[in-house]
């Protein structure tokens, strides 16, 4: 990967992280005050586990999916 692409990827990831942080800090503060610490923490933990577990199928079936994508002509259209 060329270095200019890597730099753009890092800048884009940082921008998205900052936007999400700003949005979530505005939303979570009022939610925390209304619902309480235990409720908010429980929901955040469950959401985090669900997102983390959703990566398991890609870990298990990723090689097969990458192989199918490499043999497909779909990416040549772009």
Mean pLDDT over 20-33 rounds to: 87
Residue 61 CA neighbour count, 13 Å, CB half: 8
* End-to-end Cα separation, the chain, in angstroms: 19
* pTM of this structure: 0.54
Q: For 51-65, how does the pLDDT look when each residue is reduced to its tens digit (9 = 90+)?
A: 999 989 988 888 888
Residue with tokens 């921008």: 15
> How big, in percent rounded to 5, are the helix, strand and coil portions of the chain?
90, 0, 10
């Amino acid at each position: 990967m060329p270095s200019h692409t890597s730099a753009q990827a890092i800048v884009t990831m940082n921008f998205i992280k900052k936007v999400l942080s700003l949005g979530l800090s505005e939303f979570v503060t009022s939610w925390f005050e209304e619902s309480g610490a235990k409720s908010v923490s429980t929901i955040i933990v469950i959401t985090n586990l669900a997102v983390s577990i959703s990566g398991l199928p890609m870990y298990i079936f990723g090689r097969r999916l990458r192989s199918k994508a490499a043999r497909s002509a779909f990416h040549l259209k772009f």
